[in-house]
């Protein structure tokens, strides 16, 4: 099975949908990823806003941190 790669902009777009109130299961199904992937994306962007590891992922999301 071919692995899909999402750009940072696509990931941020999906997470913004989640913040707007969309259910995780619906988002995962719509975008073809697992719920665990969505949680991992969210962890990389929101939970580790100040860390070096996530800095490139969180450019748009860290304005309010």
pLDDT band at 28 (very low <50, low <70, confident <90, very high): very high
Q: How many domains does the chain have?
A: 1
Q: Which of the pair, 36 or 64, is modelled with greater confidence?
A: 36
Question: What average pLDDT does the segment 36-60 reach?
Answer: 66
Does some domain include residue 3?
no
* 50 has pLDDT over 50: no
pLDDT band at 45 (very low <50, low <70, confident <90, very high): confident
Does some domain include residue 31?
yes
Domain residue limits at 30 = 8-64
Does some domain include residue 1?
no
- CA-nearest of 1, 26, 8, 57 to 65 is 57
* 37 has pLDDT over 60: yes
Does some domain include residue 2?
no
Kind and range of the H or E run holding 38: helix 35-42
Using CA atoms, how far residue 59 sits from 22, 28, 38, 41, in Å, is 22, 23, 18, 14
């Amino acid at each position: 099975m071919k692995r899909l790669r999402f750009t940072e902009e696509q990931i941020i777009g999906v997470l913004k949908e989640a913040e707007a109130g969309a259910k995780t299961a619906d988002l995962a199904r719509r975008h073809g990823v697992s719920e665990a992937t969505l949680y991992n994306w969210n962890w990389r962007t929101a939970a580790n806003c100040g860390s070096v590891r996530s800095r490139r992922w969180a450019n748009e999301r860290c304005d309010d941190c």
